[in-house]
Each structure stands twice: as C-alpha cells, then as structure tokens.
A and B are shown apart, each in its own frame.
Chain A
Amino acid sequence: MSEPLLSNQKPRVKLNTSKRRHRRYYWAYLFITPQFILFVGLTIFPIVMSYVYSFYQWSGIGPLENFIKWENYKELFHDTKFWHDFLHSLEYMVGQTVIVMPLALIMAILFNESKIKGKTFYRTLYFLPVVTSTAIIGIVMANIFGNKDALVNNLLQTFHIIKHPIHWLDNPTLAMTVMIIVGSWKFFGIVMIYWLAGLQSISADIYEAAKIDGANFFSTLWYITLPILKPISAVILLLTVVNGLHVFDLVKTLTDGGPYFSTETIDLFIYNYAFASDGIPRMGYASSAGILFGIFVFLLSIGIGWLIKKAGQDEKVKGKS
C-alpha cells in the first residue's frame, strides 16, 4: 500500500514546488511592471525617438515632415566644432579618471586602516561634494577661480607665490584644468566609497596570514590588496569613464564652454543645438550628435566590460593555480 502512495506523492510535491515558483515569478513580475513601464516610456522611447529625429530636419515643434536621410550625420562628420567638443569630452574624462581613480584608492586604503581616528567624519567630509548640487558648485567655483578679487588668486598673491592674478578661466588650458580639478573633487567621494567597499570585502584572515609570513604594508598592498581589487577596479573604471563623458551642468555653470568653446563638451553641444535660445533650434542635428556620441560611449563601455570579464577570469585562474 505504501508504494503507490509514495509514487502518488512525488508528482504532488513537484506540482507544489512549481506552483510556488510560478507564484514567486508572478510577484516578481508584478513588482517589476511599474518600473518597466516607466523605463520603456521614459528611457527606451526617448532613445528610439532620438534615432528617428536624427533623420529629420526638425526644430522640436510640429510634425516630422522633412526627412533628410543621412544629411545630419554627413554634416556632423564635417563639423569641426563637433569633433573639438568630442575631444574636450575625452580630455575631461581622461583627466578626471587619472586623478580620481588612484587618489580615491589611496584615501580609501587610509580610511580602511583601523588605526585612523575619526574615519567616519572624514568619509562624510569627502562625500559632501557628491551630494552637493553640481550647478551650485560650478557657480561657486567660477567665483573662487575668478581673475580679480577671487579667492585662489588672492591667496596666491598673499603668500607671494604670484605677482599678478592668473586668468584661470580666460585661458583654454587653465580653464580645462580647473574644470577637471573641480569635477574630480566633486566625484572623488563616491569613487572612494566604491574602493572602500572593495577593500572591506577582503577577508582580514588573508592580511593576518601575510603578517605572520612577515609581509610589510607595501608588499601586502602590492601582492594582496591590489590583485584582489582588480575585478572591482575595472567596474570603478567603467563608472568613472562614463561619468566623465557626461559632463553638462558643471561646464554650463563654471565656464559655459568658454573661452571660445575651449571647454565645451558634447553634452553642451547637444543642448545648444536642441534648445538654442538665440537661433533656430535643431533637434534633429542635436539628436544625431547624441546618437553618435552614445554609440561611442556604448563601444567604450563594451571594451571596459571586456576588461572586467578578463580581470575576473584572471583572478579565477590564479585562485585555481
């Protein structure tokens, strides 16, 4: 009697498990739905429409009537201003990445040391610019780096480091440098938190074992910390690069793209064409610029993504050997 019972029970258990699993899926789908609808409506739809607009001569109002095929793209390829702005975006991104990545790591390593007092206070302090409005930072920094009666020049003059005020934002190289420094300062805190998260995921046992083996701080850093951080460093690199390529509010408020467009980035280029307040807006042309730059960012992200994967695989191989 018992055998048939057992044979009957097995499928019921399976059925129950499958029902439960399905019910779990329903719940999951239910919770995802609002977000998914918003994502499609507010992210996917505008992206798709940007592709559509890029093939039209369109000012942003009225019906899409003037289909001009690839004309916007052809014009864009010959537009020296677009390529200059493209270069400025790259310059900013490289500058910010080179400054932020190593400095934030050093700071994170310091704050990860248990000996340092007031760690939480300093972490908060470094994180403050992250939560401050970029536009406000831009306006304040424009005053700090002003030519006359401005804080930086006044300080340098007070300490007799310079005789005449430096025209920080009137010189193309200095203006870009100031923008990179301010942008790096703003983004520094969040990268430091990323590094800290990576550092805190490393087991204390490893360090202890290294200590017993006689490893000092630098050899521990070189042979243990940095290799373990390799996969997360690729993720941080990706986030820093993508952030650096999309700088708008800081440029708008700090330099407004000046002097003579030397700090104008692609985001500002797109904005100026799409919503020109003195001239006819060119939404189609701005969209084609956005698409082209978007494709570049996408390819770059794939490249870094490949690095992330490779870094992860290398670590696995090392772990096995």
Chain B
Amino acid sequence: MRKLFSLAMGMILLFSLVLAGCSSSADSSSQSSAGGKATITLWNRWPELNDVFKTTIADFEKENPKIHVKLTNVPADQYVAQLQAAIQGNQLPDIFGFNPSLSLPQLTGLDVIHDIDDVITDQKKTQFVDGTWSEGFTTLNGKVYQLPLMSGYHYTNMMFYNKKILNQYGIKSIPKTWDEFLNAGKTIYEKSQGKIYGLIVAGKSSASYETNGEIMSMATAISPEVFWNSGGVTGINYKTGKYDFDTPGIIQTMQYFKKLKDNNVLHPNSMQSDDMQSKGLFENGKAAFTWDGTMAAGIFNNDGFKDWGAAPLPTKDGKPSYEGFQGESPAGLLVSKNTKHYKEVKTFLNYIIDHFYKNLATDGVEEPPIQSAMEGIKQPYPQFQQVVDIQDKIKILAPNPYESNVKAIDVVNNAQGKQPQDDLGNILQGYLSGQISNIKETLKDRTAKFNKALTDAIKSSNGKVSASNFKFSDWTPFKPYKGN
C-alpha cells in the first residue's frame, strides 16, 4: 500500500510538473531579471521589417543597457490565431503589431490596449504625413493607440520591369497603355520562343489580395469612384455610399487579364504563385514585368537583383490610376494594457520614432511615416526614390467613414463577417480557369451581397450609424479629400 501511495504521489508530482511546464509562469509580457534588467516583449508580423527591428533593437539595447527587447517574428498567416489565443489567455506581449482583423474598438472594448498619447504628443503628431492620425485606424475617441511603422502609402501597386529583357528584345519605352503592354508582352514571348513571358503576378488563393489590389487600382482609370486601399474600407463608391464591384473599370480589367492569358503574355504559373514565387520568377528572368506592391522593391534589392525599374501600372488609355489613403496604418504597433514596464515601452517607442524610421529608409524597405526621416540618408539602391515618387503620386487622401462616426467601425466589421469571403483575386482565378463565364453577373451578384450585408449591419446598429455615413457628396476622385 505504501508503495502504491508513493507511486501515486510520484505520478501527481510528475503531472503537476507537466502542467506547470505547459502553463509557464513567465507569461509573454514583461519580465524582470534578477539584475534589474527589464525585458519587454515585441511581436512583429511583417517579415520585411525583421532586419530593421533587429538593427534598431541592437542599437537601443546598447544605449539602454537596463532594457532588453525580446523580438518574436510571427508568421503572418498565423498572426490572428496567435493574437486570439494571447488575448484569451491574458498573455499579450508588451508591444504587438496591429492586424485589421482585430479592430481598435474591439481591442479597446476588451480593455487590452494602452493609449500612447504621452508618446505621440501634439507636437510630434505634426511631424507625420497628412492623414496619419485618423479615427478607427490610429486613434479612437481622440486618443492615439497605434504607432505607425511605415508610411500610410505602404503597399501601393506598381509595375516592375527587367531592364535586361526589355533591352534584349527591343522594348524601347515602358508601356503605359494596355495595348502597349500587350504588344510588348507578345513581342517578348515570340522573340524568346516562348521562354520568357510578358507578365508574372501572384494569383494563388493565399495571395489573391495582390491581384485584387492590382485590378482595383487599374480600374480607377476607367471608373474612379471605387478605389482600392490595402488597409482601409475599400470597394465602396463614396459618391453613392454603396459597394460597387460591377463597375466598367473592374469588368474591363478582368477581361484584360484574360486577354493577357489568351495571348501568352501572362506567365502560366501566375495563378499558382504566391508573392515570393512570382518575385522569384521575375528575378530569374522568366517574365519581363511583374505587378506588385511597393515592398517588392526592397526584396529585389535584398535578393541582389539590380537590373530593374519601376513604373505606374498600365491603364486602358494611359490615363493615371490611383489608390485611396484613408489614414489607416497598414503596419503599426499597439501596446498591451497589462504591460508591467510601460516606462520602458515608452522609451522604446520614442527610440523607434527617432531611429527605426531612419533605418527603414536606409535599408530601403519602405517610406517612413515621417518625411524628415528621409532627409540626409544615402539612397539604399538607385531605384528607391523612383519607387517612393510613384507611391506618393498614386496614393491620394480619400474619405474615411469612421471619421464622422466611429460607430461605423462596428457596422463595417459586422458587415465584413457576413460578406462573401472571396475577393476580386479569387474571382479572377475563377474567370481565368473557366469556372466563371459571365464575369459581369458574378460581380453584380457580389455587389448585391456586399450591400445587403452593409444594409443589415446598419439596421442592426439601431440608428447609431446611417447610410449617409458612407456617402461623401463633396468628394471628387483623384483630389485629396480634406473633409476627414
């Protein structure tokens, strides 16, 4: 019996150890070591920022030997799940990257984030580009919650070309119209005997947001009322206050993609490629052009691919296209309310403003949200300024429905939950694979479903939000909207 008792105690002890191991006494937020050194934890979800964070943290720790910043790079596609678990388990890190799937009102409603008004003072606010401090994105009820890491213009779609291929096959000027682009692509395919294609894009389901953005961006040259914005409230015609996907612009852009495919201009692997695979094929000379976001420039540079140039996306008649900027911050940091080292967190955030932005520009990853951070820096690669100029020209300040009524965030979130999950990139996949024959009807159906979800969400807000919150009669597309 004694033996049995000892064994039982042993088992219980072992099991408690296992459980203790699972639960981990040191949660993912602030820790203090015996030497009085404070450790603050940081979750980053943008792979292109890994190195910039690493450099900045190393310098920060040299200057602040009593603070250690523990950086964790979380894979982007697992980030939401990890945040969900961390919030549920009260294990949020001190600082973590924002994800639009978990909105500011949701996070403040749960009381899990700390405002950073004492970091972003009124004087500091003025240093940031126009429109940065925007309700529902970086601020809520007048309080600042998010520290932007990059310019709000981040992720502007543009065209990248392989200079060597263009020279080799006699393409003298960069195509501006769809016809010019089609002809250039056909020439390259024919002259290279099918070895090189005109265009590679990332069209795989997991990367469909890329083609979605390219379609909507090019479509603005035909139907400017519906713009694209990577992190904002996109797809709404702010003249009518309703979603609109069956615009002539979007339909014709979809049809143009099909034309590119049928004429062997679009690389056959396009619809199976994710963003890295498409970049790889472009860098390896399998396609003369690629359409991609701004961040591709930094990746080409890091990969050692030098012989490229950038230009705006071609449009039907060569007219300019644009993308909206609604004050959202596609990449930014939030601070956990439960941090035990808010003082150290503040020191680090101030260091980011003073040093991270400069490192960001020096490394050529992206344009920082403070223009002055660009001053006096050495161009990281020759095309950097070219890319920044295109980006600054394409992104135009657009209406933000949250500015007039912050409750509109809940309505948009509720509507998003009920709207179809597919985006225009998925629909393009279906159109090119022959599963969708009538693109106009498909887009019309999608528009109806999106509007129904929006109308239902407005109704369920019990009068707190109205359709007029999404209507901006004083807005003119292509002109920066100052009414926010």
Instruction: Give A residues with C-beta under 8 Å from B.
Output: 23, 26-27, 30, 33-34, 37, 57, 59-62, 75, 81, 142, 146-149, 165, 167, 169-172, 255-262, 272-283, 285
**A75 to chain B: closest residue by CB:** B418
A171 to B429, CA, bound (A): 10
Which of A26, A30, A60 has the largest number of chain B CB atoms within 10 A?
A60
**Given the contacts A170-B433, A281-B101, A282-B417, A147 and B272 also touching, CB distance less than 8 Å:** yes
**A to B CB contacts below 8 Å, 14 in the list:** A30-B4, A33-B15, A34-B18, A60-B84, A62-B109, A171-B433, A171-B434, A257-B205, A258-B429, A260-B426, A260-B430, A278-B101, A279-B417, A281-B80
- Other than A30-B7, A33-B11, give 5 A-B pairs with Cβ distance below 8 A: A171-B433, A260-B429, A262-B435, A277-B79, A280-B103
Q: Which residues 267-281 in B have Cβ within 8 Å of A in the complex?
A: 267-269, 271-272
**Given the contacts A34-B11, A256-B204, A260-B430, A167 and B268 also touching, CB distance less than 8 Å:** yes
Q: Does B88 lie within 8 Å of A61, measured CB to CB?
A: yes
Shortest Cβ distance from residue A132 to the other chain B in the assembled complex, whole angstroms? 21
- Residues of chain A within 8 A of B11, CB atoms compared: 30, 33-34
Q: Does A259 lie within 8 Å of B81, measured CB to CB?
A: no
- Residues of chain A within 8 A of B100, CB atoms compared: 278
- Residues of chain A within 8 A of B81, CB atoms compared: 60, 274-275
Q: Does A30 lie within 8 Å of B272, measured CB to CB?
A: no
- Residues of chain A within 8 A of B109, CB atoms compared: 62
A146 to B286, CA, bound (A): 14
A142 to B277, CA, bound (A): 12
Shortest Cβ distance from residue B458 to the other chain A in the assembled complex, whole angstroms? 16
Shortest Cβ distance from residue B206 to the other chain A in the assembled complex, whole angstroms? 5
**Given the contacts A30-B11, A172-B433, A281-B101, A148 and B110 also touching, CB distance less than 8 Å:** no
Q: Which of B76, B83, B110, B436 contacts A260 (CB 8 A)?
A: B436
**B420 to chain A: closest residue by CB:** A81
B377 in contact (CB, < 8 A): no
The 4 closest A-B pairs by CB, nearest first: A260-B430, A147-B268, A256-B205, A259-B433
B77 in contact (CB, < 8 A): yes
Q: Does B84 lie within 8 Å of A170, measured CB to CB?
A: no
**A153 to chain B: closest residue by CB:** B268
- Chain B contact residues (Cβ within 8 angstroms of A): what range? 35 or more
Q: Does A259 lie within 8 Å of B429, measured CB to CB?
A: yes
B413 in contact (CB, < 8 A): yes
Q: Which of B101, B106, B206, B269 contacts A62 (CB 8 A)?
A: B106
Q: Does A148 lie within 8 Å of B267, measured CB to CB?
A: yes
Q: Which residues 109-150 in B have Cβ within 8 Å of A in the complex?
A: 109-110
Q: Does B269 lie within 8 Å of A147, measured CB to CB?
A: yes
- Residues of chain B within 8 A of A169, CB atoms compared: 271-272
Q: Which of B268, B429, B435 contacts A148 (CB 8 A)?
A: B268
Q: Does B84 lie within 8 Å of A281, measured CB to CB?
A: yes
B329 in contact (CB, < 8 A): no
Shortest Cβ distance from residue B256 to the other chain A in the assembled complex, whole angstroms? 18
Q: Which of A142, A172, A275 contacts B435 (CB 8 A)?
A: A172
Shortest Cβ distance from residue A249 to the other chain B in the assembled complex, whole angstroms? 13
Query: Dominant SS at the A interface?
Result: loop
Q: Does B99 lie within 8 Å of A277, measured CB to CB?
A: yes
Which of A27, A57, A167, A278 has the largest number of chain B CB atoms within 10 A?
A278
Q: Which of A81, A256, A258, A283 contacts B421 (CB 8 A)?
A: A81
A259 to B434, CA, bound (A): 10
A33 to B18, CA, bound (A): 14
Shortest Cβ distance from residue B257 to the other chain A in the assembled complex, whole angstroms? 13
A142 to B269, CA, bound (A): 11
B8 in contact (CB, < 8 A): yes
Q: Does B433 lie within 8 Å of A260, measured CB to CB?
A: yes
Instruction: Give B residues with C-beta under 8 Å from A.
Output: 4, 7-8, 11, 14-15, 18, 76-81, 83-84, 87-88, 99-103, 106, 109-110, 204-206, 209, 267-269, 271-272, 286, 413, 416-418, 420-423, 426-427, 429-430, 432-436
Q: Does A59 lie within 8 Å of B106, measured CB to CB?
A: yes
Q: Does A277 lie within 8 Å of B429, measured CB to CB?
A: no
Shortest Cβ distance from residue A274 to the other chain B in the assembled complex, whole angstroms? 8
Q: Does A260 lie within 8 Å of B15, measured CB to CB?
A: no
- Residues of chain B within 8 A of A256, CB atoms compared: 204-206
A171 to B268, CA, bound (A): 12
- Residues of chain B within 8 A of A146, CB atoms compared: 269, 272
**B83 to chain A: closest residue by CB:** A61
Q: Does A277 lie within 8 Å of B80, measured CB to CB?
A: yes
Q: Does A260 lie within 8 Å of B87, measured CB to CB?
A: no
Q: Does B204 lie within 8 Å of A26, measured CB to CB?
A: no
**B77 to chain A: closest residue by CB:** A277
**Given the contacts A275-B80, A275-B84, A260 and B106 also touching, CB distance less than 8 Å:** no
Q: Does A272 lie within 8 Å of B435, measured CB to CB?
A: no
- Residues of chain A within 8 A of B79, CB atoms compared: 277
**Given the contacts A62-B110, A165-B268, A281-B84, A261 and B422 also touching, CB distance less than 8 Å:** yes
A27 to B83, CA, bound (A): 42
- Residues of chain A within 8 A of B430, CB atoms compared: 259-261
- Residues of chain B within 8 A of A81, CB atoms compared: 420-421
A30 to B182, CA, bound (A): 74
Q: Does B433 lie within 8 Å of A279, measured CB to CB?
A: no
- Residues of chain B within 8 A of A75, CB atoms compared: 418
- Residues of chain B within 8 A of A27, CB atoms compared: 4
Q: Does A279 lie within 8 Å of B87, measured CB to CB?
A: no
Q: Does B413 lie within 8 Å of A280, measured CB to CB?
A: yes
Q: Does A260 lie within 8 Å of B417, measured CB to CB?
A: no
**Given the contacts A33-B11, A34-B15, A259-B429, A279 and B421 also touching, CB distance less than 8 Å:** yes
A187 to B286, CA, bound (A): 35
Shortest Cβ distance from residue B113 to the other chain A in the assembled complex, whole angstroms? 12
Shortest Cβ distance from residue A84 to the other chain B in the assembled complex, whole angstroms? 11
- Residues of chain A within 8 A of B271, CB atoms compared: 169-170, 258-259
**B426 to chain A: closest residue by CB:** A260
A225 to B454, CA, bound (A): 63
A120 to B101, CA, bound (A): 52
Shortest Cβ distance from residue A159 to the other chain B in the assembled complex, whole angstroms? 19
A147 to B110, CA, bound (A): 48
Q: Does A258 lie within 8 Å of B88, measured CB to CB?
A: no
Shortest Cβ distance from residue A28 to the other chain B in the assembled complex, whole angstroms? 12
Shortest Cβ distance from residue B75 to the other chain A in the assembled complex, whole angstroms? 10
A170 to B204, CA, bound (A): 10
A60 to B86, CA, bound (A): 11
A109 to B77, CA, bound (A): 44
Shortest Cβ distance from residue B107 to the other chain A in the assembled complex, whole angstroms? 8
A60 to B103, CA, bound (A): 13
**A169 to chain B: closest residue by CB:** B272
Q: Does A37 lie within 8 Å of B4, measured CB to CB?
A: no
Q: Does A276 lie within 8 Å of B80, measured CB to CB?
A: yes
**Given the contacts A170-B432, A256-B205, A30 and B421 also touching, CB distance less than 8 Å:** no
